[in-house]
Amino acid sequence: MRYVGRIYRPPSEADAYILQATIGCSWNHCTYCDMYRDKEFSLRPLEEVLADIDEAGRVAGREIDKVFVADGDALVMPMAHWEPILERCRARFPSLRRVSCYAMARNVRDKSDAQLARLRALGLSILYIGPESGDDVTLKRIAKGDTFAGHVEAAHKAKAAGLELSVIALLGVAPERAEAHAEATARLVTEMDPEYFAALTVTVVPGTPLATLATRGQFAVPAVPELLRELRTMVDQARPTDALFRTNHASNHLPLGGRLPRDRARIVSVIDAALRGEIPLRAERHRGL
């Protein structure tokens, strides 16, 4: 298997076979993100990707039941790549039960309903979308390249095609608009109605526009209680139908899990206990991106 540069995947794909079908991110502008700044976006040649699938099939074909298609917004790939890739995965991995990838809202909107349904029929099942915030002012400031309404439209399209959604929010990304950010993000989660909802904590990564702002004194990651209050608002106000909620990403101070809305009261009470200092937080040295 060949990989170009650093490879990222969501925590829940730790046991997946990572198939790099694109290199970098087609957007690459989000102010806090350094994941693919060293890569110019491109599609990997299809023959190379198919050869990787063949090799993985020879080495571990029967054991591979999950595939995560990298890099940053792999859904952007044209159908002429997606279709043979998904067909080859099904042919080489007989135990395959799910295929996932990162997606931007615009990637979803750029596909037709029929194309999304075709991807679902061929095995693509989960899209990881990180709006980070539902607050349009914040979305503009972090250069997300999309809006509340744009994310909702994408979510409705994806769900109509039968694709599951994992929605990611970013705590601390808008210190001066923390409450607006948290409330709008809760509303966005309600509207997108994902099957999975995760919150990460913003980290200032050297080399990013956010790091430049931090150097100028124009941005600082909020104190932990403020981050917890954002999280509390999101959990308390989001109304998904039934979402698996996680804050198990290494960037977070308080790892939590449960289902929303079923476990809302319990999760909120844990956050409140942490705010009162009754629950130990993850040590700073154990946090990371």
**87-126: which residues touch ligand SF4 (CB under 6 A)?**
104
Single out the segment in contact with ligand SF4 by CB under 6 A; choices: 15-23, 30-38, 180-188, 236-244.
30-38
CA dist 81 and 77 (Å) reads: 6
**Nearest approach, Cβ of 36 to ligand SF4 (angstroms)?**
6
Token digits of residue 34: 């350094």
Question: Is there a contact between 148 and 181 (Cβ–Cβ < 8 Å)?
Answer: no
Count of positions on this chain that bind ligand SF4 (CB under 6 A): 12
27 binds ligand SF4 (CB under 6 A): yes
25 binds ligand SF4 (CB under 6 A): yes
Element (H, E) at 55: helix 46-60
Instruction: Considering only CA atoms, give the Rg of the chain.
Output: 19
Q: Which is nearer to ligand SF4, 28 or 201 (CB)?
A: 28
- HSE (CB half, 13 Å, CA atoms) of 166? 21
Single out the segment in contact with ligand SF4 by CB under 6 A; choices: 24-32, 41-49, 113-121, 255-263.
24-32
73 binds ligand SF4 (CB under 6 A): yes
Question: Is there a contact between 268 and 236 (Cβ–Cβ < 8 Å)?
Answer: yes
Single out the segment in contact with ligand SF4 by CB under 6 A; choices: 10-18, 20-28, 165-173, 269-277.
20-28
List of E strands, the chain: 17-20, 22-23, 42-43, 66-70, 98-102, 124-132, 164-171, 196-201, 243-246, 257-260
Q: How many residues does the chain have?
A: 289
Q: Which is nearer to ligand SF4, 30 or 96 (CB)?
A: 30
13 binds ligand SF4 (CB under 6 A): no
**32-51: which residues touch ligand SF4 (CB under 6 A)?**
33, 35-36
- Long-range CB contacts for residues 241-244, cutoff 8 Å, separation at least 24: 241/193, 242/195, 243/189, 243/193, 243/194, 243/195, 243/196, 243/197, 244/195, 244/196, 244/197
**Nearest approach, Cβ of 127 to ligand SF4 (angstroms)?**
13
**Nearest approach, Cβ of 207 to ligand SF4 (angstroms)?**
13
**Nearest approach, Cβ of 66 to ligand SF4 (angstroms)?**
21
**Letter for the amino acid at 276?**
R
70 binds ligand SF4 (CB under 6 A): no
**Letter for the amino acid at 40?**
E
Q: Which of 19, 21, 23, 30 binds ligand SF4 (CB under 6 A)?
A: 30
> Could you give the string, one character per residue 202-241, with x where binding to ligand SF4 holds by CB under 6 A and - elsewhere?
----------------------------------------
Distances (CA, A) of 112 to 25, 105, 118, 122, 160: 21, 13, 10, 15, 11
Residues in contact with ligand SF4 by the rule CB under 6 A: 25, 27-30, 33, 35-36, 72-73, 104, 130
